[in-house]
Amino acid sequence: MAGYKRVKRAADAVLSAAALGVLSPLFAVTAAAIAIDDGRPVIYTQDRVGKGNELFKIYKFRTMKTGTPCASSSRLRDTDAVTRVGRLLRATSLDELPQLMNVLKGDMSLVGYRPLIPLESEIREKRLQAGIYEDPPGLTGWAQVNGRAAIGDDLKVAYDKEYKEKQSALFDMKILFNTVLQVLTRKDVS
């Protein structure tokens, strides 16, 4: 498993750098749309729980109006807080693209568990007990392709644990492929 993790980290670095290069025009257009719609900043950082149960700064395109409190999407249902461009970014998952910088830095992996905000203490504790935080979080994961926001915390942790036990290059490719399908069909988007 240690050998696979070294290869995975190298693949994450190469693939995220390539994706950042290829997607740079999309980044520019998205940044301009956010700035025109609701001003700056266009990218924001937020504390998230990562490897070793330690906090790191995650990058995202800003979809919420300036001054919106930090909360999980499931707890923040006020659609007035989301900008017009933000609704499109969330529906297409384009708001997540800056996390490729987190993958390049090594804070995240392309595939893993999704990083929580620190306030999500119940699922954080369940993940701790399951040993999930031994690895970095991912841009996508097994729980995301099996229900995303539509499943409860216990099932998310079960999927996270299953991924931890079965992770391999083939499994990662399956998850990435299913993620692309979900994004294209907008399945389980909150």
Q: Mean pLDDT over all residues of the chain?
A: 90
Give the residue from 77, 51, 50 showing the smallest Cα distance to 64: 77
Where does residue 129 rank: exposed (0-12), middle (13-18), buried (19+ CB within 10 A)?
Answer: exposed
Among left, alpha and beta (phi > 0; psi -120 to 50; other), residue 186 is left
pLDDT for 79? 57
The pLDDT value recorded for residue 182 is 86
Residue 154 has pLDDT above 60, yes or no: yes
**Which of 5-9, 171-175, 184-188 shows the highest mean pLDDT?**
171-175
Q: What distance in Å separates the CA atoms of residue 176 and residue 94, rounded to the nearest whole number? A: 15
pLDDT value at residue 80? 78
Residue 4 has pLDDT above 90, yes or no: no
Give residue 131's region: left, alpha or beta (phi > 0; psi -120 to 50): left
pLDDT score recorded for residue 115: 95
Dist CA 113 CA 118 (whole Å):
15
Are 73 and 79 contacting, i.e. CB atoms less than 8 angstroms apart? Answer: no
First to last CA, the chain: 34
